[in-house]
């Protein structure tokens, strides 16, 4: 996803000081530069493609420079690839910077926030917007605080199961298409496309608005994905896991998620099964594994019988 300087200006309500013609420049990295060394004249490894953030330290040093040097430094700062120069704390913007920004069409923006706080907020915003992204056919629901991604062939019952979960008090995130962003290591965030937000498709009924029918507490706009449950039509010739010792994985972007395969056949209450799967996943994360405990007891019993025999 592309982010422009205009997006940042609107998101953080920044004031445009100069370089208005370059307001559509693309920001391609979440890294932010504090050009202290550049103010001192060292441009050998200048990260020109980053947003340049000038605080009180950089500006106070800049004011100590001779007039001719000031002009030269600001012209170098406003490179052809620099997306923006931002001044924090509502500091006075040097006229040399305004002149260079207008000449080279590099936007100069101002914020009232402190340098550290703005840097942190801007980094988080850019990491979220620039994160690697993919789309998966499925349904994402929040079950007991666990983001559960339901996958499976079309018509297997994903949306109907999600509807039953919503009726039981859980929350719908996305139906049919789930947009997934890798916001950090082992952190996948799923959300619906804007067109499908809060909507659920039920065959025979059509499109329903979950928020209108069940209230705002029945939906959420995004959720971290922790568990994948693949629904498939019951195959009598296939051996399904009955103990839960063999954990399958599914890789999305750069993250591996726990995957469960749930066979679907008439009479199975999938909503209850998914609730239990989510709770069991939470227990495993807390160190309680029923399958391993059963296996340990069984091994102990077999060992006792062999000893007695």
For residue 249, say whether it is annotated as part of any ligand binding site. no
Q: Which residues have a Cβ under 8 Å from the Cβ of 226 and sit 6 or more positions away?
A: 146, 147, 148, 257, 258, 281
Is 157 annotated among the ligand-binding residues? Answer: yes
The response to whether 153 counts as a known ligand-binding position is yes
Question: Residue 139 has which token pair?
Answer: 């349904």
DSSP 90: T
Of 158, 181, 220, 223, the active-site residue reads: 158
Give the position of tokens 């559960």. Answer: 148
Output phi, psi for 100, to 5 deg: -65, -40
Residue 261, CA atoms < 13 Å, CB-side half-sphere: 16
Query: Which strands form 85-87's sheet, in the order they lie side by side?
Result: 15-18, 108-110, 85-87, 51-54, 32-33
Among residues 31, 90, 117, 137, the one annotated as catalytic is 137
Is 168 annotated to bind a ligand? Reply is: no
Is residue 206 marked as binding?
no
For residue 242, indicate whether it is catalytic: yes
170 part of the active site: no
CA distance 263 to 261: 7
* 158 annotated binding-site participant: yes
**272 appears as a binding residue in the annotation:** no
Residue reference for tokens 């959420």: 220
Residue 79 assigned as binding residue: no
19 is in an annotated binding site: no
Q: Which of 34, 75, 176, 259 is catalytic?
A: 176
Q: Which of 238, 242, 251, 306 is catalytic?
A: 242
Quick check: is 45 catalytic?
no
Q: Is 176 a catalytic residue?
A: yes
DSSP assignment of 128-146 equals: HHTS-EEEEESEEEEETTE
Give dist(CA 51, CA 192) in Å, integer: 29
CA atoms within 13 A on the CB side of 12: 27
The C-alpha atoms of residue 160 and residue 201 are separated, in whole angstroms, by: 8
The annotation places the binding site for ATP at 152-159
The annotation places the binding site at 152-159, 201
Q: Which residues are catalytic?
A: 137, 158, 176, 242
């Amino acid at each position: 996803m592309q982010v422009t300087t205009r997006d940042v200006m609107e998101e953080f309500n920044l004031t445009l000081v100069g370089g208005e013609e370059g307001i559509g420049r693309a920001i391609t990295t979440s890294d932010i530069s504090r050009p202290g060394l550049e103010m001192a004249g060292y441009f050998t490894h200048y990260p020109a493609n980053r947003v340049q953030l000038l605080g009180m330290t950089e500006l106070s040093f800049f004011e100590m420079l001779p007039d001719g040097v000031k002009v030269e430094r600001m012209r170098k700062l406003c490179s052809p690839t620099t997306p923006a120069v931002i001044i924090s704390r509502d500091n006075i913007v040097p006229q040399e910077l305004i002149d260079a920004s207008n000449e080279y069409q590099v936007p100069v923006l101002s914020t009232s926030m402190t340098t550290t706080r703005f840097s942190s907020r801007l980094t988080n915003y850019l990491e979220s917007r620039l994160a690697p992204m993919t789309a998966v056919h499925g349904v994402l629901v929040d079950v007991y605080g666990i983001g559960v991604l339901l996958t499976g062939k079309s018509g297997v019952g994903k949306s109907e199961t999600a509807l039953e979960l919503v009726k039981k008090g859980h929350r719908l995130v996305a139906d049919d298409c789930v947009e997934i962003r890798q916001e950090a290591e082992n952190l996948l965030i799923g959300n619906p496309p804007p067109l499908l937000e809060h909507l659920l498709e039920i065959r025979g009924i059509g499109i329903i608005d979950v928020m209108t029918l069940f209230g705002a507490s029945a939906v959420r706009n995004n959720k971290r994905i922790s568990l994948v449950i693949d629904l498939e039509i019951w195959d009598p010739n296939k051996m399904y896991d009955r103990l839960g010792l063999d954990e399958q994985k599914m890789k999305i972007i750069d993250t591996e998620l726990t995957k469960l395969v749930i066979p679907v056949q008439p009479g199975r209450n999938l909503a209850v099964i998914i609730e239990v799967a989510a709770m069991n996943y939470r227990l495993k994360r807390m160190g309680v594994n029923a399958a391993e405990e059963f296996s340990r007891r069984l091994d102990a019993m077999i060992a006792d019988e062999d000893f007695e025999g």
